[in-house]
Amino acid sequence: MLKKSHFLSIFFIILTLGLHSCGKRRSPTDSAEIVLNVISETMTRGYAQELVVLGDTIFVAEDQGGVEIFNVSNPYHPTLDTSFFTIDTSDVSGITGSHLNQTLIVVTENQAQFYSYLDSIYSVGNAYDRDIEDIKIVEEKMDTVVVAASDLSDGFGIHWFAYYEQFGVLNWWQIKGNFIRLDWNTRGFFVKFPYAYVAMEQNGLAVIDESDIDSPVLLSSVDTPGSARDVWVDSTFAFIACGRAGLQVVDISNLDSLVLVGGYDTNEYNFYADRIVVKDKKAFLACRRGGMKVCDILDPRNPILVGFLNTPYANDVFVDEEYIYLADRDQGLLIIAWDN
C-alpha cells in the first residue's frame, strides 16, 4: 500500500548488540560483537519489499509504489535518480537485475517483465506469466542472462534468456530452461551450479540438479524446524532462514543425505527469519518485525547472535564489504556501516 503521509520522523534507531548462543557456548574470544552504525535512512514512497544493488545504484521494489532508483555513490546521502510504475501498474513484489546489460526484471502479480534502464525506463520483454515468489539473475554475459525463479504453484526453474530481434521486435526472449514441479510452496533459493538449493516452507530444503536446465531433477530434501523461507550456501553448509525457528543449518557435504546440524532460535515472537545473506562468516537475517539479526557462523553447528538492529519491518537485506542495505516496509531504505 502506498504511504500517503508520515506522522513521525524517526531520528534514531535503537541499536542493541547482544552476544548469545544456542547450545554449547563458545568463548567470547571466538566471536566478537560487531558494530552497526546506521549512516542514512531514506523514506520510500511505497512499502520497501525487496532491493537489488548494482554498482552505485539501488533499485527498490515498493509494492504499490512501483520501483524507485537511488544513487548511493555517497552512502551517507542517497539521492533519488528516478522512479517508475510497471506497464500493468500492478503491485511490485520483487526485483533483480544485470549491471552488465543494464536490465531489470520486475515481479508483479502473475508476471515478471524485463525493463531497460540504459537511457530511460522501458519494457523489453516478458520473462514469466506466472506467480513468481523469488527471482535472481545468476549469470550474465553481454546480451544473455541466466535467470532462476521460484513459483508458488510450479516449483523452481532456471532459464536462459537472450536479447535479440524476433518477429520484428528487439526484446529479451527465453531460449531454454524449464520448471520442476515440487508440489510444495517454494520460496527463496541459492544457485551454485550445477545445483539449486530451494526453501520449501514447511517441507524444509530441497536440492535440485540443474546440469540440464531443460530437465531438472530433484536430488534430495530434508525437513527443517519452522518454515523455510530463504537459503544461502557457504562451503558445505546451507544456512536457512526458517521463520519463527530462526536460523537453521544443514550439512550438504553429501547431497544424497542432507543433515540438520544446528541453528539459532531465540523463541522470540518477533524473530521471524525471512531473508538471509552470508558474508565473512556472518549470517545477516531480515526478520520482519524482528528487524535485522546478525549471527556469527564461524562454527556452523553453533551460530551465535552477535548483533541486531531494531526496525519496524525488515523485508530484505544485501551486504557488501563496507555496508548493509536494508529494505524496511515502513522505514524505507537504510544503509548501515558494519565492522567486518
DSSP string, 198-237: EE-BTT-EEEEE-SSTTS-EEEEEE--SS-B-EEEEETTE
Q: Is 86 helix (H, G, I), strand (E, B) or coil?
A: coil
List per-residue pLDDT tens for the chain, 340 residues long. Answer: 444 334 333 333 333 333 333 333 333 333 458 999 999 999 999 999 999 999 999 999 999 999 999 999 999 999 999 999 998 888 999 999 999 999 999 999 889 999 999 889 999 999 999 989 999 999 999 999 999 999 987 899 999 999 999 888 899 999 999 999 997 889 999 999 999 999 999 999 999 999 999 999 999 999 999 999 999 999 999 999 999 999 999 999 999 999 999 999 866 667 899 999 999 999 999 999 999 999 999 999 999 999 999 999 999 999 999 999 999 999 999 999 998 7
Query: Per the structure block, which three cell numbers stand in for 272?
Result: 521471524
Cross-strand pairs, 304: 21, 296
Alpha-carbon distance 249 to 261, whole Å? 6
pLDDT at 138: 97
DSSP code, position 35: P
Contact 239, 285 (CB under 8 A): no
Which residues, in sequence order, are CB contacts of 27 under 8 Å at separation 6+?
none
Domain boundaries, the chain: 16-23+33-338
Within 60-101, residue ranges assigned H as helices are none
pLDDT at 327: 98
In the block, cell 511490485 appears at: 92
- 16-23+33-338: CATH number: 2.130.10.10
